[in-house]
Every structure is written in C-alpha cells, then in structure tokens.
Amino acid sequence: MRPKASKYAGQVRASPVAVIKLMAKANGESLQIHGAEAARLIGLSTQMQVLATFYTSGATRQIHVGNTTVRLRHASKDRFQYADTKIGLALTALHYIGKEALSFEVVSHIQKELSDVEFKALQTCQMPEWMRAALTPASS
C-alpha cells in the first residue's frame, strides 16, 4: 500500500492492520481479532495488547510493517465464525476468557452488547459445551 498524502501531515503511511488485512486477503487467509482485544472491544477488559495480534487460518508468524510488529497466530476454523462482526467478537472473547473465568456477569454483559438477533446467532455458533451451557440460561 502506498502512503497517502495529507495536506496537514505530509505522507501518511498505511495502518499496519490495513496492510495485514490486505496481505491475508491476497493469500486467501481468514483473520479474526485476538481474544484479548475482543474482550477489550466488547467492554470486558481495559487491558490493551502490546503487539497487535490476530488469529489466522494461515501459518503462525510475525510480520513487521514499518516499525510495528503484528503477530498472526494460527487458529481452528471455529474461531472464524462471524468474523468481522459483533457476534464473532463476542465468540472470540468467550474463547479467550475461558471456562474458569466465564461467569453470569460476563454473559450478561455480552448479552447487553448484542441485539437479540445477534445473541441468538451467537447461541447457534459451533462452540464447546461449557460455553453453550453458560449462554443458554442468559437468554431466558
């Protein structure tokens, strides 16, 4: 990607995330936000990642874009359900939080962040049984 000209800042480089998304598309790979970032974006955490990290259907690797490093970690196909949507974000956050930390409060927060249609779609996703059991009572 070429730098874009800005009348205020001169040459502006492309965002490392935009470059990674373009590379993944060119290689036919799927990308999904890492669970830690998904938990932050959905409001379950305030911690930010030091290195931008994404799940990928390709090989695990680190890519340097300018003076930024982006980490790509291979993940199973169930992590890519509803990629680039709030449903996918919630599913990835739930995987990241894990069985031990998953609570009624977490599920309630996710249910508030999603519309009823999105929450029902989340419940139909392919997921571990412990996650499905945690999501089922929240809908009643």
Give the global pTM: 0.82
pLDDT digit string (tens) for 59-117?
A: 999 999 888 899 999 999 989 999 989 999 999 999 999 999 999 999 999 999 999 99
Q: At 45, is the pLDDT very low, low, confident or very high (cuts 50, 70, 90)?
A: very high
Q: What is the pLDDT of residue 13?
A: 74
Domain boundaries, the chain: 4-138
In this prediction, what percent of the chain has a pLDDT beyond 70?
89
Residues 6+ apart with CB under 8 A from 10: none
Phi then psi for residue 111, to 5 deg, are: -65, -35
Q: What is the pLDDT of residue 122?
A: 95
In this prediction, what percent of the chain has a pLDDT beyond 90?
72
Residues 6+ apart with CB under 8 A from 117: none
